[in-house]
A and B are shown apart, each in its own frame.
Chain A
Amino acid sequence: MGDVLKLILKRLGYGLLTLLVVSILIFFAVELLPGDTAQAILGQAATPETVAALRTQLGLDQPAPIRYLSWLSHAVVGDFGVSAVSGTPVVQVIGGRFINTLFLASYAAVIAVPLAIILGVIVALLRNSVFDRVANVLTLTSISSPEFFLGYILILFFAVNIPAFPAIASLSGSLSFPELLHRTFLPALTLVLVVTAHMMRMTRAAIINLLASPYIEMARLKGVPPWKVIVKHALPNAWAPIINVVALNLAYLITGVVLVEVVFVYPGIGQALVDAVSKRDFPVVQAASLIFAATFILLNLTADVGAILTNPRLRHPK
């Protein structure tokens, strides 16, 4: 177990380093964009003198490296500052949005992960049957379509033709939990359709791969029923690749949902990030990007740790 702990600490250290590099890249990427915050705030109506006054007020007249270092010195102690555009604390701008995004991601994950793994096991069991073919075609079709298109199709069928769900998932007013689930069902379903195929096919492939191994043949020869062969004998050895692909898809559910948020007008962090980039609101862009980067790093770490914990050979290296 000590090895695992050491690995986690080491990976977390690398993770922090990655975040630092990401923050530098983001800062200079925002700097490279034409125009600056002052111009973005004042829009087309800006006169040069008003822009200059606002620049001074926002501290934009300082050289770029100094602005970055001042941001960094606060960020390392957990102070992400205030939005350059609205002056509200970044935590306040992003906090609620991030919770919304986490909610939608969890909603989709709770449906997608069991669905994908169960489907994966079933199609592995019934491989090359009609069911396998149909499941593959459907999931591959949904993963190959852009998610905004899937969203539009779902809206057309389940909001316009059959008005079962609202077309926009705006979270106005106080909603009870069942209302919330009803209102956000279509965006969650869109995400489920997008991520299911990947996980299902990985489960199927991993299991089918194992089904050719001698110990599975042994199990079969001694008369173990096929579903038990898969669940008891094959699946435990297939967890490592499945966990990897699940982690990757969970990260996607958090960081890749901008289009779904736009289509369903869902107030998540992706929309906030797009808004912040268009206003050159560096502190918000930076904080949102770091959240995304940290999500990837943590989920990758979880995947690696999960792979080790499910594999006795890795848990007890000689």
Chain B
Amino acid sequence: MSKKNPNLMDRIAQEARMGRISRRNFMQYSMAAGFTASAATGLWTTNAFAQEAKRGGTFRWGIHDGNTGDTHDPGTYVTRVMIFLAHTHRSFMTQINGDGSLGGDLATEWEASEDASQWTFRLNENATFGISGNKVVAADVIASLNHHRGDASTSAAKSLMADVVDITADGDNTVVVTLSGGNADFPWLLTDYHLAICPANDDGTIDWQSGDGSGPYVIESGEFGVQFSLVRNENWHGEGAWFDRVEMITLNDPNARQTALITGDVDSVSQIDLKTMALMERNPDLKLQNVPSAAAITMPMFCDTAPYDNVDVRNALKLAINRDDIIEKIFFGAATKANDFHHSPAQPYWPDDIPQREYDPEQARSLLQRAGAEGLTVNLSTADSVSAGAVDMAVLYAEHAREAGINVNVVREPNDGYYSDVWLVKPFTLVSWGARPTPDVMYTLAYKDDAAWNESHWQNERFNELLLQAKGELNEERRAEMYREMALLARDDGGTIIPFFNNFVYASRSNVGTPENLAPSWESDGARAASRWWFTD
């Protein structure tokens, strides 16, 4: 037997997760690392893991963040419980696979016109709604997507669908979407949690009230903010759904969540307190899941407001943060160091050759000197509700910045209304961003010159030009090159400090089986634990 090199294997697996190597290369590298061809195939296909999976059992899933005021309306999904439920009882057009790549859910295949402005999706002909038993047809998809369009729509996904000009059916199983401009990422956008497919009414609206969906499980009973009981949809079109039943229990209190997992009252929880990570790791009955994601903490500075209108000041503030120290002390290592551009290794096209910006108070000092801003004092607004440890993190940053002669006043704002009264209002804030599937979505949302959420008021002509070009570019290589240049622009000219991307840290009982790769889009395997996991005993 040849000697295996596990470190190399990890690296290759990571490359594969990032979508940077093809299946063929993966096989070559794996065999070079000492794996046999069949073992390498097994590593590549998540289905190889699924072969060990067996059916049966009731999966009790403790989920953080649920509210009595939740509803089945996909336009106002906001809590984790609803997002997870949507992925359990409803379907989406596409999904993010465990390895971070894009896969089909209701759509089996899709293709773009040459300028990427028209997309044609073929629907899975076996898909049916769990309660009514009706087939999922083009009309359902059209009504579900139109729910997020139009003046009367109150959907939070309205801006996501803003470029959609028209959605038409071509027979019962084909949907054609026309966009106002090219968007090579459109199939990625359809993984957004708001875009769940519901049955259409005759008037072209959707019936979200009944809670019917075409997902792996069907809701049997439930109460918002408390719990939902589901049974397997035996006619589900996908692969998986090993559990017979799923209980989704709202567990908002971190302590209750962890105790319930330790005592075996639930089989898996969607989030654990980072402070107790080490303790949980020592418990042989539990396994910890620590998954790098594209969610981030950002610190935007208004580029049109003094002193941040000077690029040297902005870069000095970026150099004055000790990322390793914050990741170690506040987040207990459960984060991936970022480099001041909002593009995570968990997203496609991530440029891996951009030098990491490190903590350098000396250089920060000299940049300030050049800007004539020695002895700079800035106010950094934050609140506990931004993220666990957000205030501590700001205080620690103030200590780092002091070394560079910068005086950071940490302003603790009220938790309530932080995103309406502080974010986009105060010039220097701390913000928490959820994971977005692609760099284009993220940049368009918060870095484009005219975006409503351009949180740093950053205007860079070249960046915006590239953003539009990359959006319609179907050639992968050219696209990756554009994102690389944009990353450099954001890093060296942008107004946002991005210290790290948070990892998702969650935990399960040791008898819960999971595929090797856990999806980076949400906690609990991209919110799809119920259909992707199984019991090993």
Is A42's CB under 8 angstroms from B227's CB?
A: no
Is A53's CB under 8 angstroms from B152's CB?
A: yes
1/0 contact string of B224-239 vs chain A (CB within 8 Å): 1111010000000000
1/0 contact string of B432-449 vs chain A (CB within 8 Å): 001000000000000000
Q: Which residues of B contact A284 (CB under 8 A)?
A: 68-69
Is B265's CB under 8 angstroms from A168's CB?
A: yes
**Minimal beta-carbon separation of B85 from chain A (angstroms):** 14
Number of interface residues of B (CB under 8 A): 44
Q: Which residues of B contact A120 (CB under 8 A)?
A: none
Q: Which residues of B contact A172 (CB under 8 A)?
A: 227, 229, 247, 249
- Which one of B68, B223, B247, B252 has the highest number of Cβ atoms from chain A below 10 Å of its Cβ? B68
Asked whether any CB of chain B lies closer than 8 Å to the CB of A192, the reply is: no
Instruction: For B160, give the chain A residue with the smallest CB separation.
Output: A45
B221-272 with Cβ < 8 A to chain A = 223-227, 229, 247, 249-253, 255-256, 259-260, 262-263, 265-266
A260-283 with Cβ < 8 A to chain B = 262-265, 267, 271-272, 275-276, 278-279, 281
Asked whether any CB of chain A lies closer than 8 Å to the CB of B325, the reply is: no
Is B253's CB under 8 angstroms from A54's CB?
A: no
Asked whether any CB of chain B lies closer than 8 Å to the CB of A213, the reply is: no
Is A262's CB under 8 angstroms from B252's CB?
A: yes
Is A86's CB under 8 angstroms from B263's CB?
A: no
When chains A and B are docked, how far (Å) is the Cα of A252 from the Cα of B402?
50
A35-57 with Cβ < 8 A to chain B = 35, 39, 41-50, 53-54, 57
Identify whether the interface residues of B are mostly helix, strand, loop, or mixed.
loop
Q: Which of A42, A88, A93 lies in contact with B156, CB distance below 8 A?
A: A42
Is B263's CB under 8 angstroms from A34's CB?
A: no
Is B421's CB under 8 angstroms from A267's CB?
A: no
List the count of A-B residue pairs having beta carbons below 8 Å apart: 126
Is B265's CB under 8 angstroms from A53's CB?
A: no
When chains A and B are docked, how far (Å) is the Cα of A279 from the Cα of B70?
10
The contact size tier of chain A is: 35 or more
Is A47's CB under 8 angstroms from B249's CB?
A: no
Q: At the interface with chain A, which of B91-99, B390-398, B412-420?
A: B412-420
Is A34's CB under 8 angstroms from B414's CB?
A: yes
A155-188 with Cβ < 8 A to chain B = 155, 159-160, 163, 166-168, 170-173
1/0 contact string of A84-98 vs chain B (CB within 8 Å): 011110000100110
When chains A and B are docked, how far (Å) is the Cα of A262 from the Cα of B252?
8
Asked whether any CB of chain A lies closer than 8 Å to the CB of B153, the reply is: yes
When chains A and B are docked, how far (Å) is the Cα of A103 from the Cα of B153?
42
Q: Which residues of A contact B265 (CB under 8 A)?
A: 166-168
When chains A and B are docked, how far (Å) is the Cα of A53 from the Cα of B260?
41
**Minimal beta-carbon separation of A250 from chain B (angstroms):** 25
Q: Which of B157, B158, B260 lies in contact with A167, CB distance below 8 A?
A: B260
When chains A and B are docked, how far (Å) is the Cα of A96 from the Cα of B68?
12
Is B452's CB under 8 angstroms from A53's CB?
A: no
When chains A and B are docked, how far (Å) is the Cα of A97 from the Cα of B226?
10
Q: Which of A48, A86, A160 lies in contact with B262, CB distance below 8 A?
A: A160
Asked whether any CB of chain A lies closer than 8 Å to the CB of B71, the reply is: yes
Is A33's CB under 8 angstroms from B416's CB?
A: yes
Instruction: For B251, give the chain A residue with the smallest CB separation.
Output: A265
Is B253's CB under 8 angstroms from A262's CB?
A: yes
Is A34's CB under 8 angstroms from B154's CB?
A: no
When chains A and B are docked, how far (Å) is the Cα of A97 from the Cα of B421?
33
Q: Which residues of B contact A281 (CB under 8 A)?
A: 69
Asked whether any CB of chain B lies closer than 8 Å to the CB of A80, the reply is: no
- Which one of A33, A88, A172, A173 has the highest number of Cβ atoms from chain B below 10 Å of its Cβ? A172
Q: Which of A41, A48, A93 lies in contact with B76, CB distance below 8 A?
A: A41
Given the interface contacts A35-B416, A262-B253, A265-B250, does A163 sit within 8 Å of B263 by beta carbon? yes
Asked whether any CB of chain B lies closer than 8 Å to the CB of A152, the reply is: yes
The 5 closest A-B pairs by CB, nearest first: A34-B417, A85-B69, A35-B417, A275-B68, A45-B156
Where the two chains meet, the residues of A that have a C-beta atom closer than 8 Å to any C-beta of B are 33-35, 39, 41-50, 53-54, 57, 83, 85-88, 93, 96-97, 152, 155, 159-160, 163, 166-168, 170-173, 262-265, 267, 271-272, 275-276, 278-279, 281, 284
With A49-B158, A85-B71, A87-B71 given, can you name 6 additional A-B contacts, CB distance below 8 Å? A35-B420, A42-B76, A83-B69, A86-B224, A168-B251, A265-B260
Where the two chains meet, the residues of B that have a C-beta atom closer than 8 Å to any C-beta of A are 67-71, 76, 78, 151-159, 223-227, 229, 247, 249-253, 255-256, 259-260, 262-263, 265-266, 414, 416-417, 419-421, 434, 452
